[in-house]
Amino acid sequence: MAKIKHQVFISSTYKDLLEERQIVTNILLTADCIPAGMEAFVATDDIQLNVIKKVIDLCDYYILIIGDRYGTEDEETGLSFTELEYNYAIVRVGSK
């Protein structure tokens, strides 16, 4: 029987929570999960949030690490990219 591996999206502000993201990534790898997050993205012509949404769509779980910073804000909405990821994920991943 094939072993199932779950893909997990890790979301947070980046520079201030780099160590915490690495800890979560290591735990997920130990648990035989596939971590996904912004550090694994390749350069693309697509809008960043659209790429993030596509990756979230492929994930089974979403982990949000919260710290002191709000993060970079999207000019169009005024919301941080982390908050936009979360808002998208609670609808997409939460419905699986």
Looking at the predicted structure, is the pLDDT value of residue 20 above 70?
yes
Number of domains forming the structure of the chain: 1
Residue 40 lies in a domain: yes
**Domain that residue 59 falls in:** 7-92
Residue 8 has what DSSP assignment? E
Would 1 be classed as within a structural domain? no
pTM for this prediction? 0.87
Specify the pairing of strand 61-64 against strand 7-11: parallel
Single out the residue of 37, 48, 49, 50 nearest to residue 8, CA to CA: 37
Looking at the domain assignment, is residue 2 inside a domain?
no
- The answer to the question of residue 30 being in a domain is yes
Residue 95 pLDDT > 70: no
66 found inside a domain? yes
Compute how many other C-beta atoms are within 10 angstroms of the C-beta atom of residue 56.
20
Structure token pair of residue 68 = 């002191």
Tokens 């939460």 sit on residue: 94
